[in-house]
Amino acid sequence: MTEIIKEIAWVPHIIVDNSVIDNILLADSFIFNKLERTTWHGEWRLYVWPTSLIDDKFFWNFLFPGFFLKEDLVNFLEDAKTEYLLQEQDYRKNIAETYEDLLLNIAELPEWKLYFQVEPAQWKNDIKRYYIRSQGSIWTAMRRIALPNLSYISIMQVITPNNKVELYFRIFMSYEYNSMNHPKLLEKEEDDIIDLDIEINQKSKIRQARIWQWEYRRKLLEQMPNCPITGVSDERFLIASHIKPWVKSNEEEKIDPYNWFMFTPNIDRLFDQGFISFNIQQRMMVSPWVSPMNRKRLWITEEKEYPLLQISWKRAWYLEFHQSNIFKK
């Protein structure tokens, strides 16, 4: 099933500026008011973008069917598991109690490609804001699993093998709050350090590595004195960027200079959230979920080679983890 899904997901899509809508934040009002502080009763419409940015070529009067992939919905719930169980936000009820049922409901869906029909949802006063909606059960299932302000949807036009245009909807969890990099996991690690039965000096060293990382930043700067993508060498503008996330690394990997790149903030952000990665040939990989328009604005180019990346076999091992677990394919 995985190979079929990849074939559909990677089928060539229409190369126009708006062939991808990058990031539609899912507000609490749209997903059944999970938050304690919310007073609004919720609405079934999804705000997409300002009306000034509407390109009729994207929806073409809503003739195209929309779909989710079952695998994407399962992956989203896995990404969201830490938030469901540990809950950084204040929710109306303990959402941990719903997690297993939601996961089971998605897993039991009979099809791997889940179709629904999307339509406009404009009111007469909606002059500057553009909305869509769907009456389908799949749309409702997405609204039930989504988490307010921590999840978002992207939409891509794709051309199927039989030459039909469809709208591929995919739900993502914000990287800062997914199960790779959640604040509660970092807090737990700090508590575990305090509880460790080791010398005080060693605890201090581990904590310093987590909070400041100065020693390892210095080692990385010796190895990589400038950003290999932008060429910036002023260390005030450089960020030591983990390849394999901190919470998924063992103690050796946490302080391994080969598990880091030195990037400028824009490149660090793109890499950290999985919108770009790099292969063993030192070429950039760009997520299909970055629209052509934003690729141009960000000056990122698929397959461009960056020799200063210094991808040794050891960095390649970490990058394999990044491509399998973080990069948004």
The predicted-structure confidence for 283-322, as pLDDT tens digits, reads as follows: 999 998 988 888 888 999 888 999 988 888 889 999 999 9
> Residue 42: which pLDDT band, with cuts at 50, 70 and 90?
low
- Comparing 10-14, 105-109, 232-236, which segment has the lowest mean pLDDT? 10-14
1/8 Cα distance (integer angstroms) = 11
pLDDT of the residue at 10: 45
Nearest Cα neighbor of 146 from 223, 31, 271 is: 31
User: What secondary structure, in 3-state letters, does the chain show?
Assistant: CHHHHHHHHCCCCCCCCCCEEEEEECCHHHHCCCECCCCCCCCCCEEEEEHHHCCHHHHHHHCCCEEEEHHHHHHHHHHHHHHHHHCCCCECCCCHHHHHHHHHHHHCCCCCEEEECCEECCCCCCCCEEEEECCCHHHHHHHHHCCCCCEEEEEEEEECCCCCEEEEEEEEECHHHCCCCCHHHHHHHHHHHHHCCCCHHHHHHHHHHHHCCHHHHHHHHHHCCCCCCCCCCCHHHCEEEECCCHHHCCHHHHCCHHHEEEECHHHHHHHHCCCEEECCCCEEEECCCCCHHHHHHHCCCCCCECHHHCCCHHHHHHHHHHHHHCCCC
| Predicted local distance difference test score (pLDDT) of residue 103 | 93
Dump pLDDT digits (tens) for 140-169.
999 999 999 899 999 988 887 777 888 899
Q: What is the pTM of this model?
A: 0.78
Higher pLDDT, 262 or 121: 262
- When mean pLDDT is compared over 81-90, 218-227, 275-284, the highest value belongs to 275-284
> What is the pLDDT, as a whole number, of residue 171?
95
* pLDDT at res. 207: 53
pLDDT, tens only, 83-102:
999 888 889 889 999 999 99
More confident position, 205 or 258: 258
**For the segment 61-75, what is each residue's pLDDT rounded down to a tens digit?**
667 888 999 999 999
Share the mean pLDDT of the chain: 80
Strand order in the sheet with 46-50: 46-50, 129-133, 119-120
Higher pLDDT, 129 or 229: 229
pLDDT at 70: 93
pLDDT of residue 53: 63
Q: How many Å apart are CA 118 and CA 38, to the nearest integer? A: 27
φ and ψ at residue 229, rounded to 5 degrees: -100, -50
Domain ranges of the chain: 2-177, 186-212, 213-325
